[in-house]
Amino acid sequence: MKKIIFSFFVIFCLQTNLVLSQYKTTDCPVIPTPASYVASSETFDISDKTLQINRTNLPKEIEKYLVKNLKDAFSIQTIISDNSGEVIFKPQKNVPENSYSIDIRESVITISYSNEASCFYAINSFLQLIQKNDVGYYINLGFLMDYPKFEWRGLHLDVSRHFYSVDEVKHFIDLMALYKFNTFHWHLTDDQGWRIEIKQFPKLTEIGAWRDSTLIGHYNEEPRKYEHKRVGGFYTQEQIKDVVAYAQKRFISVIPEIEMPGHSRAALAAYPEYSCTGIKQGVPGIWGIFDDIYCSKPETISFLQKILDEVIPLFPSPYVHIGGDEAPKTRWHTCPRCQKVIKENGLKDEHELQSYFIRQMDVYLTAKGKKLIGWDEILEGGLSPNATVMSWRGSDGGIEAAKQNHDVVMSPNGYCYFDHYQSGNTGEPLAIGGFLPLEKVYQFNPVPEQLSADQRRHILGGQANLWTEYISTMEKLEYMTYPRALALSQSLWCDNTKKPDYETFKKIFIKYQMPFLDRYKVNYSKAIFYAKMEITPNKQGLALRFKGAEPTDSFYVTSFNTDLQKNIDSVVMKSNDSLVLTRENDFPMTIEYTVTPYNNVSGINHFSIEQSHSIGFPIEFKTPFNPKFSNRGNLALVDGVKGKRPWKGDEWLGFTKDTIEFTVDLIKTRQLQNVNLGFLSANGSWIYLPETVQLFVSTDKTSWSELKKQAVTEETFFQEVNKKARYLKVVVISKDKIPVGSDGEGNKPWTFMDEIEIEYE
Ligand code: ACM
Ligand code: ZN
C-alpha cells in the first residue's frame, strides 16, 4: 500500500512539476489526516483578506460552497475570474478514484482532482489549511495528496426521540462535510415520533409525530419525571427532498431508516390495526423497548411496502435502512395471525418469522432497485439474501455477516455510540450511559482481525450513532458529536496503519482544529482538558497523578479530609508528580482539584478517594470482566473511587457471566473485620443486582474456608468476619435472566461491581 501511495504521490508531483525536496514531512492541520503532506515554513499569504479564484474547472455548486465558507467562517472575500486567479483547478486522469492534491506555491495554489466529490474534499482540506497570525491569513507552502480508505463514512441522527428542524439537520450535514463524511443515516421513525410525511397514511404524522409528555432526567431515576407538554414535528416530502439535495451538494448520501418490526409505537398509535392486539395506545413519552411491535400478518407487510413506495423516490441512495433491532417477540408468541404465518410458511419460531418479515422487505426493495440494510439482529433466524448488516452490538454481527459474504457497516457500540459519556467529569451533561472517551473512538478500526482478506472486502466502512433520548438541543448534539467525530473520521478516511498516533492527533486538534471549529461556532466538548486522575498501585497504597491534554499542564490540588472537615494539603502538581496515598494513614478523605486554565478552558473536578484499607491490593480475576466496562481494569475494585450512582459510564466493572470469581491478596496475613461490596442496580440499562455473594478466606491460597453467603444489596456488607487471612475469595452468583415484563426480558443481565472495601486490624 505504501508503494501505491508513493507512486500516486510521484504522479501528482510530476504532473505539477513539483520538486519534493524543498518541503519536509510535518503534522498536517487537516483532519482527517491526508495520505501525504509535506510543507515548508514559507507561506502563501492571503492579502487584504481577499482571494482570487479561477472558476475554470471549478464546479458551480462547489464554487458557491467555497465562497460561502471563506466568507462566513473566515471573513475572506473572493474575486471570481475566468482566466486568472491565485487558486486554480485541474481535473486529473490516471489517479485513484476520489483522490485530489493541493499544491501550494508562493503565488498560486493548484487544486487537482479526479472527480467532483474529490474536488469537494479538496476544498474542505483547503479551508482547514488556512491559518491566521497577527498579520493576516496564510497557508504554508507545501503539497498535499489524499484519498479515502472506506466508502461508507457515516453519522446517524435520531430525529424521533427529539425532533430536529430542517435547518438543524442541514447544519448537522454541514459539519459532517467539513470532515469528509459521506453518509447521513437519518433515523426517521421510532416509538416516540414518526417524522416523514406519507401521503397514503396521513395519520402517521397527524397522530404519530406528536406526543403529550417526555421523560426528563434519566430513565433509571425513580420516581420518573415527565414534562407534560405536547411536542413533535415531521418533515414534508418536499422538505425531505430539500435536505437530500442539500446533502448531495456536499457529496453526502442520505439513507432513510424506516424501523420495523420493532420501535414502531408511533406508527401503531396512528394505525393500531397493524399491531397484534389492535389496541390503540398513544405515542410514548418514555424510552425503552416496547412489546407492541408490528404484527407480521400480510396486511402489515403491505402497509409497510406502501410506505416504502413513497420513501424510495425521495432518496437517491442505493440503501434503505429497515431497522430490525430490539423487537421483542412477546406479542408474536400469542398472536393467532403471527402464528398462522409461522405455520403456513413452515417457520421454526418467531426469529424465523422476523427473518421472513425482513425477507419480504428485501425482495420488495431489491425489485425496486434498492438495497436493504438493517441492524445486526437481522442475522437472527437467517439473513435475507441481499441484506447489508449494520453491526451495533459489538463487532460479532458484522463478522458473521462478512463470513456469510454480506456487506457490513461497522458501528459497534463500544466505539461508535456518541450518546455515551465522553468523560467522568463533574459537569458532564446527562447521557444514556456507557463510556466512550475521545481516545477510545480513535482506536476504532472497522476491519476486524478475524476476517480473511476476502471477507474484509465486505466491510464498507463505519458510522457513529447519535441517539437522542438525552440530546434535545443542537448545542448538546454538537457537544456529543464533536470532537469524537474527528477521531472517527480518522478511522474511516485514513489507512489505519498510517494515521498519526493519538497524542499527535490530540496536538493537531488543540493547535489547528479547535480554532477551526471555533470559526464554525461549534459547541465541541473540551473534556480532554479536564484533568484525569491516573491511579497506580504502589507498596503503601496508591499513587495519584493528574493528567491533562498537555504534558505541561499543572493542577492546583487541594486535599480535604471529610472526617475532619478540613483541608489537609494544597499543592501545585505537574503531570509527572504523584501524590501517594497510604492504606494505613490517609483515609477517609476527599480530594478536590482544579485544572489550570488552558485556552480559556478551565474546570473544577471533584474526585473522591473514599475507601480505606484495601486500596491497591492485587486482585486476580478468575472471571474476566467485560472489556466494554473495564475502566481501570484490575485496579477498579481497589482504586478507592467508588462507582457513582446514577451511573455515568465510567468506574464500574461490568460482567455478563453466571458466576463471577476473584481473589484479593491482602499482602500479608491480617485479622479481617468487615467487608463491603458495592453493586449497581440500573434495570433500564439491563444492569441488575446479582443473587448472592459468598466469601472464602485462606492463608495459603490453597485451602479455603467458607464464610456465610449473603443476598445482594447495593452495598453488601459482611459484618465482623473476624478471621485471619492473607487471601479473600469472592464468588458472586448473578441473576440468570432479566425478568418478564422488564426491559430486555429474557436476556442475561449485566452485573456491575465497585468497590470492595476490606477492613482489618
Ligand atoms: C440500536 O442501538 N438499537 C441499534
Ligand atoms: Zn401478530
Looking at the fold, whether 232 and 124 belong to one and the same domain comes out as no
State the average pLDDT over residues 739-756: 89
Q: How far apart (Å, rounded) are the C-alpha atoms in residues 300 and 287?
A: 24
Q: How far is CA 49 from CA 52, 76, 131, 135, 136, in A?
A: 10, 5, 12, 10, 7
The domain tally of the chain equals: 4
Distance from the CA of 332 to the center of ligand 2, in angstroms? 5
Query: Measured from the CA of 417, which atom of ligand 1 is nearest?
Result: 2
Least distant ligand from the CA of 291:
2
Take residue 410 and report the three cell numbers written for it. 461497522
* Contacts of residue 22, Cβ cutoff 8 Å, sequence gap at least 6: 40
Is 606 catalytic? The answer is no
State the average pLDDT over residues 197-214: 98
Best probe residue, ligand 1, of 185, 325, 395, 747 (max atoms within 8 Å of C-beta): 325
pLDDT above 90 coverage of the chain, percent: 78
The reported pLDDT for the residue numbered 9 is 59
Helices then strands, each counted (H, E), the chain = 19, 38
Q: How far is CA 215 from CA 146, 441, 605, 648, in A?
A: 46, 29, 28, 18
Q: Which residue has the cell 493528567?
A: 547
pLDDT band at 595 (very low <50, low <70, confident <90, very high): low
Q: What is the DSSP letter of 664?
A: E
Query: Measured from the CA of 413, which atom of ligand 1 is nearest?
Result: 2
Of 505, 522, 539, which residue sits at a domain end?
522
Task: Specify whether the CB–CB gap between 484 and 449 falls below 8 A.
Answer: no
* Contacts of residue 237, Cβ cutoff 8 Å, sequence gap at least 6: 196, 197, 199, 310, 314
Least distant ligand from the CA of 297:
2
Least distant ligand from the CA of 339:
2
Looking at the fold, whether 678 and 697 belong to one and the same domain comes out as yes
Whether 467 shows a pLDDT value over 70: the answer reads yes
Least distant ligand from the CA of 331:
2
Check 103, 292, 326, 478 and give the catalytic one.
326
* Contacts of residue 76, Cβ cutoff 8 Å, sequence gap at least 6: 46, 49, 50, 51, 70, 130, 137
State the average pLDDT over residues 362-390: 96
Q: In what order do the strands lie in the sheet with 601-609?
A: 566-574, 554-561, 589-598, 601-609
Distance from the CA of 255 to the center of ligand 2, in angstroms? 28
Looking at the fold, whether 479 and 506 belong to one and the same domain comes out as yes
Instruction: Give 323: exposed, middle or buried? Use CB within 10 Å, 0-12, 13-18, 19+.
Output: buried
CATH number, domain of 558, equals 2.60.40.3080
Pairing of strands 36-46, 100-104: unpaired
Query: Measured from the CA of 326, which atom of ligand 1 is nearest?
Result: 3
Greater model confidence, 450 or 631:
450
Whether 2 shows a pLDDT value over 50: the answer reads no
3-state SS, 600-617, equals CEEEEEEEEECCCCCCCC
Looking at the fold, whether 497 and 567 belong to one and the same domain comes out as no
State the average pLDDT over residues 494-498: 91
Looking at the fold, whether 358 and 473 belong to one and the same domain comes out as yes
Looking at the fold, whether 505 and 595 belong to one and the same domain comes out as no
Best probe residue, ligand 1, of 467, 469, 747 (max atoms within 8 Å of C-beta): 467
Q: Which residues pair with 210 in a beta bridge?
A: 232
State the average pLDDT over residues 318-333: 96
The reported pLDDT for the residue numbered 560 is 79
Best probe residue, ligand 1, of 158, 375, 409 (max atoms within 8 Å of C-beta): 375
Distance from the CA of 230 to the center of ligand 1, in angstroms? 26
For residue 671, give the H/E element and its range: strand 659-679
Looking at the fold, whether 475 and 541 belong to one and the same domain comes out as no
| Phi-psi category of residue 220: left, alpha or beta, with phi > 0 → left and psi -120 to 50 → alpha | alpha
Task: Specify whether the CB–CB gap between 293 and 261 falls below 8 A.
Answer: yes
Which residue type sits at 568?
Answer: I
Q: Residue 82 half-sphere exposure, CB side, CA atoms within 13 Å?
A: 0
Task: Specify whether the CB–CB gap between 75 and 166 falls below 8 A.
Answer: no
Distance from the CA of 304 to the center of ligand 1, in angstroms? 20
Q: How far apart (Å, rounded) are the C-alpha atoms in residues 155 and 559?
A: 43
Looking at the fold, whether 408 and 545 belong to one and the same domain comes out as no
Looking at the fold, whether 332 and 417 belong to one and the same domain comes out as yes
Q: How far apart (Å, rounded) are the C-alpha atoms in residues 613 and 201?
A: 66
Angle (CA) 161 167 172, round 5°: 70
Distance from the CA of 392 to the center of ligand 1, in angstroms? 6
Task: Specify whether the CB–CB gap between 632 and 568 falls below 8 A.
Answer: no
Query: Measured from the CA of 467, which atom of ligand 1 is nearest?
Result: 2
Check 162, 185, 263, 420 and give the catalytic one.
263
Query: Measured from the CA of 392, which atom of ligand 1 is nearest?
Result: 4
Least distant ligand from the CA of 411:
1
Instruction: Summarize pLDDT for 521-547 with one digit per residue, the tens.
Output: 999 999 988 888 889 998 889 998 988
Closest C-alpha to ligand 1, atom 3: 325
Q: How far apart (Å, rounded) are the C-alpha atoms in residues 727 and 619?
A: 10
CATH number, domain of 746, equals 2.60.120.260
Whether 1 shows a pLDDT value over 50: the answer reads no
Distance from the CA of 689 to the center of ligand 2, in angstroms? 34
State the average pLDDT over residues 593-618: 72
CATH number, domain of 442, equals 3.20.20.80
Q: How far apart (Å, rounded) are the C-alpha atoms in residues 482 and 479?
A: 6
Query: Measured from the CA of 263, which atom of ligand 1 is nearest?
Result: 3
Task: Specify whether the CB–CB gap between 544 and 579 falls below 8 A.
Answer: yes
Instruction: Summarize pLDDT for 663-711 with one digit per residue, the tens.
Output: 999 999 999 999 999 999 998 889 999 999 999 999 999 999 998 899 9
Mean pLDDT of the chain: 92
* Contacts of residue 134, Cβ cutoff 8 Å, sequence gap at least 6: none
Which residue type sits at 67?
Answer: V
The reported pLDDT for the residue numbered 748 is 93
Distance from the CA of 233 to the center of ligand 1, in angstroms? 22
Greater model confidence, 583 or 731:
731
Is 190 catalytic? The answer is yes
The reported pLDDT for the residue numbered 574 is 83
Distance from the CA of 325 to the center of ligand 1, in angstroms? 6
Whether 6 shows a pLDDT value over 60: the answer reads no
Q: What is the DSSP letter of 45?
A: E
3-state secondary structure of 585: coil
Q: Which residue has the cell 397522530?
A: 207
CB atoms < 10 A from the CB of 22, how many? 13
Task: Specify whether the CB–CB gap between 174 and 249 falls below 8 A.
Answer: no
Q: For residue 618, say if its preceding peptide bond is cis, omega within 30 degrees of 0.
A: no
Q: Which domain holds residue 600?
A: 530-611
* Contacts of residue 624, Cβ cutoff 8 Å, sequence gap at least 6: none
3-state secondary structure of 454: helix
3-state secondary structure of 89: strand
Looking at the fold, whether 248 and 338 belong to one and the same domain comes out as yes
Check 86, 103, 146, 190 and give the catalytic one.
190
Task: Specify whether the CB–CB gap between 395 and 412 falls below 8 A.
Answer: yes
Report pTM.
Answer: 0.92
Nearest Cα to Cα of residue 307 among 205, 448, 455, 179: 205
Looking at the fold, whether 546 and 650 belong to one and the same domain comes out as no
3-state secondary structure of 245: helix
Q: Which residue has the cell 433509571?
A: 220
Q: How far is CA 445 from CA 149, 491, 493, in A?
A: 12, 6, 11
Nearest Cα to Cα of residue 740 among 228, 333, 357: 333
For residue 490, give the H/E element and its range: helix 484-493
Q: What is the DSSP letter of 365?
A: H
What residues line ligand 1, using a CB cutoff of 6 Å? 325-326, 375, 392
For residue 13, give the H/E element and its range: helix 2-15
Of 591, 611, 631, which residue sits at a domain end?
611
Whether 645 shows a pLDDT value over 90: the answer reads no
The reported pLDDT for the residue numbered 550 is 80
Of 581, 611, 641, which residue sits at a domain end?
611
Looking at the fold, whether 161 and 288 belong to one and the same domain comes out as yes
Closest C-alpha to ligand 1, atom 2: 392
